[in-house]
Structures are given as C-alpha cells and as structure tokens.
Chains A and B, each alone.
Chain A
Amino acid sequence: MANNQPENQHPLHKTTSFNDAPKLDAVADDANLTPPLPPLLQTDAALKSLEDQDQNNQNQHQDQPQAREEKEKEKEKEEEEKKEVEEEENTKEGEENTEVEQSNNEPDLHYNLHTILEDVDQFLSTPHGSLDREEDSVVQIPQFIDKFLDLVDAKIEQYNNDESNAKEKECRVPEDESMFLEAVDRISKLKTAIHEMKLEEDKNSLINRIGNTQQRAISYLEEEFRFFLEESRNSDSDPAADTKGKQEQDRSALPDNESDQFQFPGYSDEIVNYLNKIAKQMISGGYESECCQAYMVARRNIFEDALLKLGFEKHSIDDIQKMSWESMEREIATWIRTIKQCATILFSGERNLVEYVFSSYPPMSASLFSNLTRGIMIQLLNFSEGVAMTKRSAEKLFKLLDMYEALRDMVPKMEVLFPEESANELKTETTTARTRLGEAAICIFCDLENSIKADTGKTPVPGGAVHPLTRYTINYLKYACEYRNTLEQIFKEHSKIERADSTSRPHFEGEQAPQYNSSIDNQSPFAVELTRVMEILDSNLEAKSKLYRDIALSSIFMMNNGRYILQKIKGSADIHELVGDTWYRKRSSDLRQYHKNYQRETWGKLLGCLNHEGLTVHGKVVKPVLKERFKGFNALFEEIHKTQSSWIISDEQLQSELRVSISAVMIPAYRSFLGRFSQVLDPGRQTEKYIKFQPEDIETYIDDLFDGNPSSMARRRT
C-alpha cells in the first residue's frame, strides 16, 4: 500500500514542506551547537531490544547479502501492514505536530532513530522523478528527512559527549551501534538519491545539510574505527603464546575453523564485526581513502609492535656492519624466529583480519594486505642484506645457512598468502636477498680452501698426533654436511649465476666454473668443492708430515690424520655419500700404505738385528757378533720404546691394531732368535747382560707405545 502512494501524498508532506524548516542551515555547523532535539536517552532502552533483534538478524545474514535482502523484503511487507495502522495515528497527531514544530522545539516522542529509518527506507525505495527526464514531476522532500538528520546529529553529539567521560566503557561496542550504522547508510543513500532527484526548491541546501551530517557521522565512525583498531585488542595477544580460552571462544563464534588464527590480531568477534560494518559504511559513503589510511596506519603500528615483542629490532645496514658477532648471532636467531612467526601466524592472521573487515571489497583488502606485508618483508629482508654484506668469516657460515633456509621456506608460503601481484614482487626481493646469503655462504665455504692453504706453520704437532687443522676442517665439513641439501642447492644456483655473470668475476671464472662443469662422475658442485677441500687438506698434511725428521713419525702423523678423517666420514652418511665409496676406499688403502711404511721404517731395522745371517761361521755361532746383535737390539728397542711411547695415537683401535701388528712381527722373530741363540751365552752375568728382554717384556713394552708418555721403560725397570 504504502509503496504505491505518490510521494506528495505522504501524510507528513501535507503538514510541512521541506522549506518550512528554517533550522536546516543553522544546524549545519558543528558540535558546539546544541541540537534542537532532546537527548534520545529515554528511548534507548526500548530501542535496545529491537536492536538486539536486528543485530541477530544481521549476524546471521551478513555473509549472505542475498538472503538478507530477501529477509528485508519480508520485513518490509510486515512493516507495511504495521505502518498502515501507524499512519492513521500519524495523521491524527499531525496537527499537533505542526503546532509544536512551529515553535521549533517539539519533543516528538513518536520519532526516534529506529522508527524514522523505516520512513527513510520507504522514501528511498519509492521511484522519484529523475533529473534526466523532463516529464517527471518534481520531488517533494518529506519533512521527516529533516527530522532524521536532526536525530543523527543528536546521536553523534550524544556519542561525542559520552565518550569524553566514558573511559570506563573502554572497548565496548556501543549498544545502539547497528542502528547508528544503518542511519549512516541511509544518509549516504539519501545523498546519492537526492543528487539524482528533480527537486522543487533549490536542492542545494538539502544536499549541504545531508553532506554535513554525513561528514560528522563518518568522522565519528573513523574515530571509532581507529580507536577499536588501536585499543581493543587483547593486551596479551602475544603472537607466540596461544591463549587457549580465547581460541575456543573464537572458534565457537566464527563461521570457519580458521578462527584460531584470529588470535594474532587479537580482536574479539564482536569488534571485528563492528570494524567490518564501519568500513562498509565509510566506503559506501565515499570515505574509502580515510578508511584505508586509518586501517593501514593502525595495523602497521600494531604489526611493528608485534615484531618488537618478538625481539626483532630494526638495524641500519651500517650498524649491522659494526655489530659484534655475538650480538649478530643473537639478532639472527631472533630474525629467524620472526620470519617463521610471520610465515606461520602473523601474516595469515593479518590477512584474515583484513579480509574480514573489508569483506565486501576484496581488491581493497588485497591492496592493504600487500602494502602492509610488503613493508614488513622489506624490513626483514633488509636485515639479511645487511648480514650478507658483513665481513665474511668461517663461523658465520652456519648462521647464514639458517637464514637462507628461513627465506627459502618462506617463498612457497608467500605464494599462498599473498595476492599474485605482490607475491611476485616479494618473491623476487626474497630471492635476491636469499641469493646474497647464498653467495656469502659459498664465499665463506670456498674460503676454507684458502685458510687450509694458508696454514703453513713450521712447527710439527708433537707425537705425530692429529693436527688441529684436520680436526677443524673435518668437523667444519661434517657440520656443513648437516646442511647438505641447502648447500647443494646454493652451489647449483651459484654455479648458474657464475656462468651468467662471469665477465665481471674474472677470478671465479677461471678457477671454479670449469670444475663444476666437469662433473665427471655426476658429482654435484658441492661434492666437487668438498672433495677439493679434502684434497687440499691432504696435500697440506703431506707437506706438514715432511716437517718430521723421523720418517716413521711422519707416517704415524699421516696415519693419525687419515684415520681421523676416515672415522669422521664413516660417522656421517652425508659426507660419505658426497665423497663417494671410491674415494673412501682409496684413502683406506693409502692408510695401509702408511702403516706399511711405518713398519718397515721402524721395525724393519729392529728385525735386522734378529737376522740369523752372519752369526754363524761354519755352523758355529760367533759370540762377539751375537753379543753385538743383542746389544744392538736392546739399544734399538729401548730407543724405539723411548721415542715411540711418546708418540700419540689417539684412536684406540688404530693404536691396538698397530701394537698387534708390531707384536705379531716382533715377538715370533724375537722368540725364535732367543730360542736359537740364548744358550750360546754363558748363563748368569753374561745372559743377564745381553738378554735384557724376555718375549713377554717385548709385548709389554710394545703396549706402551703411542701413549704419549715418554721414557716409561726406565720407570718400569726400576
């Protein structure tokens, strides 16, 4: 019924026309003007129940605008019926109203923001004469429009006054928010509609009036928006700490099970909903820029605070260059943690939030999210750029690799998280930063070659023990091989870069690129480099072994170091695989060769003393020669014992292998020598003088060898 009524027959039009309201222009300005209407407080309680209903409806339907529209249509029908009754009453009251209105101070108990919205809706849904069609008749503006604006103005005034002394209210969404938001919505719609209408009078003052109220209303909403973004978060929403209770609360209220991710932004559902509605009103009212800027500034500050809470602090690249390694190590650990938090919790939380708040405006939420995360990512990447530029040193390798891995693992997540456009840009930036880390890592790793080559000390390690360089290098390599996949990846990527860009790097081109290419047995570039380092270590050790004047000792030295290397390789499947079986077998046989050399060098001489040849002339033992032999043996054995018990073989197995193999040669030889010749000597003094050792003694003394305890024989004998 109501819908079919021509607008100039609306009951209220008869009583007052738009022009009769002289206060229109005066009301326009600002908060210091007392609104003409009494405060709405008395009606608030009544409103509340209605609102609650309303809000429920809205909550149910806000993801389904279509359903909501339908619902609203139904509602409209119902209300139409209701209105017919009301209208009758209205006409009765009409006369009273005119009187009161003329005094410009009518209490108008009938109208409140809630009821008047229905009239506004009706006005909006009625077709009106359009500017473009001459035949259309001029639109009469109903008087309640003016009233409506008054009510909204008063409401804003009330809100503003409430707020200045309502700190205790803190972060509660105002109770009548949904009605106010609807009112703002109608204002925006009115503004658009009236622009199009053919109005009887100069429509500009009405447009001015509407624009003014809209500006005040939306400014208020903007403050609300900012305030709730800034202040309404759970104060303890430390992104790292899960607040279980909160999580569950969220889950029950939110439609999807991503709800637990809301814990980072840390707003309650009620507030997120409120923010969503405000954003909708601001944007549909044409205040998109203000809305986005407020959102961006607030969220950026909050996000940066979250990073700060994680311990991530900004450093200039200049400062990073000057940082001590200890503090850099700490900062790197924090950085890695931060990157991971961003990838797992923070970014997705941020994305959920922005998508929820700007749910009706996907391009806007995408651009806000990109801008925000881009800024954060650039900041994070900046740190890694700075670190990659610092002076290279061996101890940094593993931290750089950790960083490299963190960035590498970030990239696939970005593809999921970011809108395509910013994902591409950020992927490029991340890849660049990662490549720099990779390059630095490679330089450090390859620098191992140089530090091995540069280790040219002239002092041999006492006792032929494992050289510190061997320990250092092998342990370093072993540790590096824990990053095997990463290093393989870096080396592969790097060798590509090397080739692409080799003109500017003359020194690399000649030295390494061809090596990488000549992967004879399909070794990866990293494996090639690793083998290279091993070889360089080897030749360095060989040079070092020459520092020993005693050839036997230099064999022991080589054995010790070789054994150490093989044992370590045996213990690490990765290195073993990388160097390959062939290499391993070759090194084992090298070791056996050193063993043989040693045996020959030391024990070959001693065995010479036990040679039966030249002792007998015509089947008769020549005593003085025998005595000399015994003397020689004793002296030599004592000498060997003396020196070689101070030699060191720390590998127990090698030590016992050696002892066993020595005993296996010496004891039978000595025993048979003794058996054959001992009775030649006179028993007593002579025997005592020349046969100093029983075969068992020999065994005992051999067991003293390679213990690193010099001259123990004397001790034992006394």
Chain B
Amino acid sequence: MDGAHEQELEDLELFQKHVSERFSDLLPPPPSDDISSDPILSIAWLRKLLDEFLCCEAQFKALLIMGRDPSQIVKPPLDRLVPEFLDRVVKALDICNAVLHGIESVRQFQKLAEIAISSLNQRPIGDGQVKRARRALNSLITSMAVEDKDFSNSKSTERAWSFGRRGGGGVSTGNATPQHKDRIAGQFRSLSWSMAKGWSAAKQIQAMSSNLAAPRGGESSSLPQTVYLMSTVLVFVMWTLVAALPCQERGGLPTNFPVPKQMSWAQSMIGLQEKIAEEWKKKEKKGSGGLLEEMQRMEKLSQSLIEYTESFTFPLEAERAEEMAGQVGELAETCKKLEEGLVPLQQQIREVFHRVVRSRTEIVELLEYTAKASSPIV
C-alpha cells in the first residue's frame, strides 16, 4: 500500500509539473524577447490552449482510471470530488456547444468583412461600393455587439425587425437611423445558432467554479489533488473560451475564480487569468464583441473603415485611397487568419467535446462498477 501511495504521489508531481510547463508556454514572452509567438487569445493561441487541455485530460484520465486502487474513488473525499468534477464536465460540454455557435458567428463576421474588403478593393471605387462596404461593416459591428447581448428571448417570440413591409429600402442608404440599427440588430440577433432559452455561459462558469476548492488537510492526498488540478484546468479553459468567443449570455462572467496562489503549478495560470480578466474588464466597459484577438482587430479596422466610408467622396484621392487600402489589406489578413483557423478550431472544440464525453462515461462506469464491487453481493 505504501509503495502504491508513493507511486501516486510521484504521478501527481509529474502531472503538476506538466501542467505548469504547458501553461507557462502559453504565457506571452516578456516584451524584451523578440521571439515571435502567437498573441494571447488569438486563434492560434486558443488552439494551443486546447492542445494543452487535451494532453492534461489524457494524463488525468490515465491517473484516475488506471489508478492502482480503484476503490478509493467511491470513498471520501473522492466520492464527493469526482461527482462534482463530472458535473463540471457536463457544464463544459454545453459551453463547448455554445462556443461552437460563437465560432459560427465569427465566421459570419468574417463574411461581412470580406464583403467590405472586396467592395473596397474595387477600382475605381465608387459610391455604390462604398455603401455596400459600409453596410457590411455596420452589420458586422452591430452583430458583434448583439451576439454579446441578451440572447434569452429567442427570435421566434420576439422579432424586433418585423416592422413595415420590406423595410422601406432605407438600409441601402447607409444612414442608419435608430430604426435601422434596431433592424440590423434584429436581423443579426440570430446570425448563428443559439443554445436553449435562458442558458447562460456566465452562470455555467459561475456554477463550475463556485465549489472549486483545494482539498485540505487529510483530504489532500494525491488523487483528490489530481481531480482538483484537472477541475481547475477545465474551468480555466472553458472560462477562456467564453471570454474569447461570442457566447450566449456571458454578461457578468466572473473575472476571477479561485486558483490556489500557493501552488507552483498554478503560477502561469494565474498570470494568464489576470491578463485575460484585465482584457475582459476593458471589453465590458467598451461593450465590444469578444476577446479573440482577430475579432478585436477586425472590430478596430472595421470602425476605422466605416469612418473612411462615411467621409468618402467620389473620386477618391490617391492619398486616402492608399491609407484605406492599407487597412483593407490588414482586414484581409485578419480574414485570412480566420479562414485558416476557424475550421480547425471548431474541429478541435468538437474533439474536446467528444473526448470529455468519453472520459466521463468511463469514469461513470468505473464509479458504478467499483460501487457494485465494494457492496456485497450474495
């Protein structure tokens, strides 16, 4: 028993070490370092984060399921910690789904941006193209904001934009009156799929993190520590996804959840959390779309291009044309990143979903089996 115990402790240490290393890879390098790395909260960075998650998950599963003494799992404190973990897993699955919808929204933003790009790239550029671009960009900005707002009433009960027949064609003017803004908002309320009525990403994250507490004293043997560590990683990853991508009802997303300051493995995670939380607070103030680096860039460029389109007069002066082309080029580059990154990201989240379901099933089976094996059968 003692030998097994020692082995478990060793496993735990190894697990903690890996987690710590993986997350420190995600930290942005100090500014002095000129090694280029993927900016935090970019698609590439999120994909790295998910990779790390999948690695942690595999290691965790091995530790828990292949554990040397399966009967532990039905004894205190694991008999409480494991079901709590499984409950978090279920919530994480919903978050994966919501985030997948969010990615679908981002894809729609990308399409709108591409309309603007192709219109603004036309030469000679005229009022028609500019209007078309402005309309697309306005839609983009509005829908970014809308995706972020109250989703709880589904469009079937409340369709803000079913006023006047065919809308009086005013949209083509590009002078968005308040009514038009509403209309655009209504239209993009449902740019992508939505979750069940009343489902809230913020609440789910809250629920996942509320009972997350480091095991103490007698409970802090290796397996409870392992479960706790995995829970923290899970909550962190889901929290990051929700912050980065459009997600149903994430207003009031907690900006900090308990990560144990004293644990060495948690240091990088704390660093990341602080950074993201800071960004999130800024975002909440601005009321903009999401922390995804590409989205923020897209938003900024779109706003600036809207200004160009608003002050546009035909014919465009060469100097302004050049300025605009620069921004359009940047926007196109961002769209290219989305084009290349969104599908793999989506697939990866789907993989996380399936992997987590699989592990959950195995843990549940292990629990049931162990429970039966340890209760006497005549």
Contacts and interface: CB of A to CB of B under 8 A. Distances in A.
A74 B167 CA distance: 40
A156 B173 CA distance: 12
Main secondary structure of the interface of B (DSSP, over half): helix
A29 B127 CA distance: 8
Contacts of A177: none
Contacts of A432: 354
B135 to A, nearest CB: 7
A318 B195 contact: no
B337 interface: no
A316 B169 contact: no
Interface in B63-86: 65-66
Interface in B118-147: 118, 122, 124, 126-129, 131-132, 135-136
A389 B89 CA distance: 11
A300 B100 CA distance: 16
Nearest to B91: A318
A169 interface: yes
Main secondary structure of the interface of A (DSSP, over half): helix
A314 to B, nearest CB: 4
A378 B234 CA distance: 23
B365 to A, nearest CB: 7
B155 interface: yes
Interface string B187-200: 11011011111010
A316 B195 contact: yes
Contacts of A618: none
Interface string B89-133: 011011001001000100010011011001000101011110110
A167 B162 CA distance: 12
B84 to A, nearest CB: 13
A708 to B, nearest CB: 28
Interface stretch (A158-166, A247-255, A342-350): A158-166
B173 A220 contact: no
B132 to A, nearest CB: 5
Given A308-B156, A389-B360, A289 B111 contact: yes
A385 B94 CA distance: 11
Contacts of A450: 372, 377
Interface in A354-392: 375, 378-379, 382, 385, 389, 392
A301 B169 contact: no
A213 B362 contact: no
A147 interface: no
B34 to A, nearest CB: 39
Contacts of B368: 392, 443
A226 B172 CA distance: 14
A28 B128 CA distance: 8
Given A297-B190, A316-B94, A215 B357 contact: no
Interface in A307-360: 308, 313-319, 321
Contacts, number: 173
B31 interface: no
B216 interface: no
Interface residues of B, number: 67
B108 A215 contact: no
B131 A215 contact: yes
Contact of A507 (B115, B369, B375): B369
B354 A220 contact: no
A321 to B, nearest CB: 6
B164 interface: yes
Contact of A215 (B61, B170, B172): B172
B169 A159 contact: yes
A364 to B, nearest CB: 13
B191 A505 contact: no
Contact of B361 (A30, A207, A220, A436): A436
Contacts of A207: 124, 126
Contacts of B197: 313-314
B315 interface: yes
A543 interface: yes
Contacts of B354: 432
A292 B108 CA distance: 11
B166 A163 contact: yes
B168 interface: yes
A314 B195 contact: yes
A456 interface: yes
A181 to B, nearest CB: 16
Interface in A431-465: 432, 436, 439, 443, 450, 453-454, 456
A208 B91 contact: no
A208 B369 contact: no
B165 interface: yes
B171 interface: yes
B193 A216 contact: no
A545 B329 CA distance: 85
Contact of B168 (A160, A297, A375): A160
A163 B165 contact: yes
B90 A321 contact: yes
Contacts of A219: 131-132, 135, 169, 171-172
A19 interface: no
Contact of B165 (A212, A215, A227): A227
B324 to A, nearest CB: 16
B204 interface: yes
A315 B114 CA distance: 34
A305 interface: yes
Contact of B115 (A290, A301, A443): A290
Interface string A282-299: 000011011011000100
Contacts of B372: 450
Contacts of B135: 219
B268 to A, nearest CB: 29
Interface string B147-176: 000000001100000101111111111010
A283 to B, nearest CB: 13
Nearest to A160: B169
A224 interface: yes
B263 interface: no
Given A29-B127, A160-B168, A505-B365, A316 B193 contact: no
Given A219-B172, A301-B190, A385-B357, A211 B204 contact: no
Interface in A38-88: none
A215 B128 contact: yes
Nearest to B196: A314
Contacts of A167: 164-165
Interface string B320-363: 00000000000000000000000000000000001001001110
A504 B66 CA distance: 8
Nearest to B139: A293
B201 to A, nearest CB: 11
B335 to A, nearest CB: 12
7 shortest interchain CB distances as A-B pairs: A211-B128, A219-B172, A208-B126, A215-B128, A160-B169, A204-B124, A314-B196
14 contacts: A29-B127, A204-B314, A213-B128, A219-B135, A219-B171, A223-B166, A227-B166, A293-B111, A301-B155, A314-B195, A317-B90, A453-B378, A505-B365, A507-B373
